[in-house]
Structure 1
Amino acid sequence: MNQDFMRTKPILPLVLSMALPMMLSMLINSLYNIVDSMFVARLGEQALTAVSLVYPLQTLIVSIGVGFGVGINAAVAFFMGAGEKEKADRAASQGLFLSLVHGILLSVGTVICIPYFLPMFTADNLILAWGKEYAVIVLSFSVVVTVQIAFEKIYQSTGNMFVPMVCMAAGSITNIILDPVFIFGLGPVPRLEVKGAAIATAIGQVVTLLLYLIWYFKKDMGLSIKRTYMKPTADICRRVYMVGVPCSMTMGLPSLLITILNGFAAAFSPIYILILGVYFKLQSFIYLPANGIVQGMRPILSYNYGADERKRMKRIIQICGAMILAIMAVGMLLFLVFSGSIMKMFTVDAVTVREGALALRIISFGFVVSGVSVVCSGALEALGKGFASFLISLLRYLALIVPAAYLGIRIAGVIGIWTAFPAAEALTAVASVIIFVICYKKK
């Protein structure tokens, strides 16, 4: 397969052809997150709180998988752009093998941590029981998650966005269909409640991986994944981990942020943990399409970087940036106008609806400006500047928002948590532009 179209095709049609499939699949994936929470919420607020407490660990696993996958993506696309096909094959093969190892370690490590993690946030026995039941199942399938993400990034590095779109969408749709079957018990399936939600999630992930495997063995992907190439080598691992490690750390920061904010919220009331859980599921509906554009941008930018097409690189960043800012503006309007109606999808409690709607409106003021950081971070990863990208995310998810939330609580109570989001996003946007300009000029 010839990937030179990434250097020669007009930029806007190229970006759209690469980004739209990922945007669609991520919209479906974020819809699953929302629908899954809606079904669990019908079991009661305690059930939704239990799932919300496990969510940071699920996010951590996906973050590590995606972060390392971005390293694979950048390395393969760079070698392809530079015309070094064998090195691209080796990068894909080694990346797939190492993703398998990462998944096994994550499965074991997170399951061991569960009995110590959940009691940090609640003493409610029912929440703890449901949380442990849900966590053990979903976290045991971490290896499936990391391997399927590796396949996704390898396909994207060749410019093939269709296969990841189909595989991801199929898994999410399977999950949505099976949720009510296993949660409430339909036909021969018994009512499994929270455990049923976990089983539906696991089956959806397996479906995605199986489709990747079928597609790989049935049709040429433009790369050769060989067992003889899977033995890790220093040069390939260095290039992959130089992007993958900081990117994994970057994507793992939201998990740490959610954990810290859950601790802050727990000091006021369990309903604020539920509100945070709902928000982080809802915000994926906004940020995942934006990240779909970033995923479409990365291989194009890496390829043109390898081909030394500097003017084209700048235009790619400009077009993708405009698209992301437009998505974030739409998201802000939705949260401002429909916040009350959105919260009513998850609870009938009037207090929770009122407090949740207020939180969504305040947080949404940071959406548009956050698009600047998303663009800069994604572009730096494509250029191999993983640690610069990590620095932006460190500011966004930890160094600025946590102190802002802590001070906000002292001044305005729980509202201080919500106001910390837009404040941190504005400051991070300024810093990200400075970091990006410095790194881009050096490159």
Structure 2
Amino acid sequence: MAIGVLALLGFQLVDSAFIARLGTAPLAAQSFTFPLSFLIIGIQVGLGIAIAALISRALGAGEQARARRLGSLVLLAGAGAIALLALLLWAIQEPVFNSLGADAATRELIRGYWAPQLLAAWLGAALYFGYSLFRAYGDTRLPGKMMVVTSLVNLVLDPLLIFGVGPWSGLGLPGAAWATAIAFGCGLVVLARRLRHTDWLAREGLGAELRQSARPFVGIAAPAMVSQLMPPLAAMLAITVVAGLGEAQVAAWGLASRLETLSLMVVLAMTMSLPPWLGRCHGAGDWEQIRRLLRLALRVVLVWQLGLGVVIALAAPWVALVLSGTPEVRDALTMLIRFLLPSYALLGICMLVVSAGNALGWPLRAMLMSGARLFLFYLPCLWLGAQLGGLTGLAIGAAFGNLCAGLAAWQLLRRELGAAAQPAA
């Protein structure tokens, strides 16, 4: 899963790197779409968490037939929900991007990019739900391989569709979205063919299963989706703060956001692969195994993420040189990398605790922790830093907010695991 996440997030960073060659304005236009793209991702991840949790618990309890019915239900409902959301975001794009601070010229660039980007988001969500089903059954190899394949397809198509080939001048900014849509479409074809050869889906008894499982599914999915929707909301608020600093700063912030998700590849892989394992242990009542798994996971996150963050921070000028196209964007990106990347060690701990909470039957606590991370620690520190020190202050404030969130999440996990051990004692 780590290899797959690296490939998936790497091609998103490649998209931004190619777009940066078009100029600061197209890169800033793409950056304004990130919060709404994260909104779609947040809902699909929340649904994916519920998929993995319920199916893995059913498998842990030996309920094979129920797991098959759940697999069919969530694939159909998930694809429908994301399609409706994409249509809504297309309809309200003008007032939303205007409120985010995009000027008329930027909104015009966004308009040609937004439709293919929403199509790519829907295809990516459908693909993600399929990945969640495979992970629930313990197969992380196929999702990882497919992430690599779709990333390679996107990498080949990006320069062709953005810049063109021969006498054809290319599509510019929309070309990046079309490349992503084609790559995800190819992945869906392969995944559907593989699902046909499994015994993981059912056609009968779906209505009765829907009535039985709707409440527990919503009980997990609703807090998980709220937790996942908070980052897009926070991203919208953050980009309005950054927009007040200038267009180059917005472009640098967009690149830093891509680099953030790429640098968190191991954490993201663990948040996807660990919950099904935790769910099976939860279904079997094996809390000692759960504690061992979480202790190991937290150590891996802290050591890996801190080491990676320090290395990238030291190499910040060279990383910014590769990613950015203008000196002003490059200088701003260098500043953001130096302060933000090391702080992702504590952010990773918070992300892992929230993911584990959803798998272990603590969705409300996980939601509250996610909300505290963003609205109690991250955003206030970011805003205060920007007011006091411009871009440098903003970077320091965001890093301090991540530090506080990681410490709070660790304390929450200690308390909840201790409470879970009480009945056993």
TM-score interval for Structure 1 and Structure 2 normalised by the shorter chain: over 0.9
Percent identity between matched residues is 21
Shift of 1:167: 2.1
Q: In structure 1, what is the Cα distance between the partners aligned to 2:168 and 2:75?
A: 35
Check the 8 A contact 1:93/1:227 in 2, yes or no: no
Structure 1 residue 25 corresponds to structure 2 residue 4: yes
Give runs of aligned pairs for residues 402-417 of structure 1, distance below 5 A: 402-417=379-394
Structure 1 counterpart of 2:71: 92
Q: In structure 2, what is the Cα distance between the partners aligned to 1:399 and 1:415?
A: 21
Unpaired stretches in structure 1, ≥5 consecutive residues: 1-21
Aligned partner of 2:159 among 166, 177, 180 = 180
Aligned partner of 2:233 among 256, 263, 280 = 256
Structure 1 counterpart of 2:137: 158
Aligned partner of 1:57 among 18, 36, 39 = 36
Q: In structure 2, what is the Cα distance between the partners aligned to 1:305 and 1:201?
A: 37
Secondary structure (helix, strand or coil) at the match of 2:315 reads helix
Check the 8 A contact 2:100/2:240 in 1, yes or no: yes
* Number of residue pairs the alignment of both structures matches: 420
Shift of 1:124: 4.0
Structure 1 counterpart of 2:407: 430
CA 187–216 in structure 1, closer or farther in 2 if over 3 Å, else same: farther
Check the 8 A contact 2:50/2:220 in 1, yes or no: yes
Q: CA RMSD in A?
A: 1.9
Unpaired stretches in structure 2, ≥5 consecutive residues: 421-425
Give runs of aligned pairs for residues 183-332 of structure 1, distance below 5 A: 183-186=162-165, 190-217=169-196, 219-220=197-198, 222-226=199-203, 228-229=205-206, 233-332=210-309
Q: In structure 1, what is the Cα distance between the partners aligned to 2:223 and 2:273?
A: 20
Q: In structure 1, what is the Cα distance between the partners aligned to 2:387 and 2:18?
A: 36
Shift of 1:283: 0.8
What's the TM-score, normalizing by structure 1? 0.90
Check the 8 A contact 2:163/2:169 in 1, yes or no: yes
Q: In structure 1, what is the Cα distance between the partners aligned to 2:170 and 2:209?
A: 46
Give runs of aligned pairs for residues 12-161 of structure 1, distance below 5 A: 22-122=1-101, 124-161=103-140
Aligned partner of 1:377 among 351, 354, 358 = 354
Aligned partner of 2:327 among 350, 354, 359 = 350
1:137-196: CA deviation from partner (whole Å, max 9, x where unpaired)? 111344323322111111100101112112222222111110011011125865110111
CA 62–348 in structure 1, closer or farther in 2 if over 3 Å, else same: closer
Q: In structure 2, what is the Cα distance between the partners aligned to 1:251 and 1:223?
A: 27
Check the 8 A contact 1:93/1:230 in 2, yes or no: no
1:14-34: CA deviation from partner (whole Å, max 9, x where unpaired)? xxxxxxxx1000000111011
Q: Which amino acid aligns with 1:192?
A: L
Shift of 1:63: 1.5
Check the 8 A contact 2:270/2:352 in 1, yes or no: no
Secondary structure (helix, strand or coil) at the match of 1:226 reads coil
Q: Which amino acid aligns with 1:76?
A: I
Q: In structure 1, what is the Cα distance between the partners aligned to 2:397 and 2:410?
A: 20
Check the 8 A contact 1:262/1:273 in 2, yes or no: yes
